[in-house]
Amino acid sequence: MALFSKLFGGDKDAKPAAEHQREFERVAADESTLTILSTGKTYPVNDISLGGLSINGYDGQLHSNQYFQFKFVGMKNGEPKETEGMATVVRVKNEQLAAKFPPQPRLRTFLRDFFD
């Protein structure tokens, strides 16, 4: 009986699915670019956080779970700030690439300073 109750929505003890919460707040990355070092192609950054980023207009060969090295250039107080790092592709869809950062203390320090 409990099986049918669950199938037809009658299980009143069921808990609602937890909403997905991001670990880090995303920040719009106006005027920021990301160059994928293996190809030398540069893309506009859509948004960035301490945990990862997304880029627009991606037309390359990278796919999920693949690592890549990058150079990030962002404007802060009218001056370009740049750093290099590594990321792992999370997804590629509709000319957009989303990636997460593996632990990199130097990159994290740069991003904290960049966000302040």
Tens of pLDDT, residues 12-60: 555 555 555 666 677 777 789 999 999 999 999 999 999 999 999 999 9
Q: Assign a CATH topology to domain 24-115.
A: Thrombin, subunit H (2.40.10)
- Give the whole-angstrom CA distance, residue 98 versus residue 116: 23
pLDDT at 9: 59
pLDDT at 4: 55
Task: State what percent of residues in the chain have pLDDT above 90.
Answer: 67
Report yes or no: 49 and 25 within 8 Å, Cβ to Cβ. Answer: yes
Determine the residue type at 89.
Answer: V
Q: For the chain, what is the mean pLDDT? A: 86
Q: What are phi and psi of 87, to 5 degrees?
A: -145, 160
Indicate the domain borders of the chain: 24-115
CA distances from 63 to 46, 70, 73, 109 (A): 18, 15, 23, 27
pLDDT at 116: 85
